[in-house]
Amino acid sequence: MTYIPRPITPLALKQLRVTDDAGRPCNPYVDTEGGAPLRCCLRPTAPGEHVALVSYAPLRRWAEETGATPGAYDEQGPVFIHAQDCEGPAPGGDGAYPFARPGALRTLRRYNAEGHIVGGRLMEIPDPATEGFDAAFAEAFADPQVALVHVRAVEYGCFHFEVRRP
């Protein structure tokens, strides 16, 4: 089974580049070091790219599309995006999951069709990472209640990407 990591949608990006999900104006800057995880194109920044760190509410955005009512499960957190339009993830991709550094800790949080948490798990990314993520998503979607899974960094709680039921 192939699970597809989803970047932030172009419409959400357009809105976030003006005002983020916490109501703050976008404040772009030049990333001099590189390596920040971009959620618009699911790759790390290169030194010199214009980026912004914005507050993003992924479950709220999904609920707007689906009519779900996440209630108190709606949360927001920091994500890096390009300051201007970008091409998004590379077409076709390489089949690898983004930001999948072996040994890094991730939380895979499961949500039902109403946007309520119905489980989750802690995962130390194995080597090879793809097989580890595939197994974790297969486990999550084996539960018919699970509509989507959010992958977050444990250290900072940052949203990395979303996978929806295939």
CA nearest to 73, candidates 133, 124, 113, 25: 113
pLDDT recorded at residue 1: 67
pTM, full prediction: 0.92
pLDDT in tens, 36-49: 999 999 999 999 99
- Parse the chain into domains and list their residue ranges: 10-82, 105-164
Distance CA 45, CA 136 (A): 27
pLDDT in tens, 40-89: 999 999 999 999 999 999 999 999 999 999 999 999 999 999 999 998 98
Strand, coil or helix: 151:
strand
The mean per-residue pLDDT over the stretch 130-135 comes to 95
pLDDT of residue 6: 94
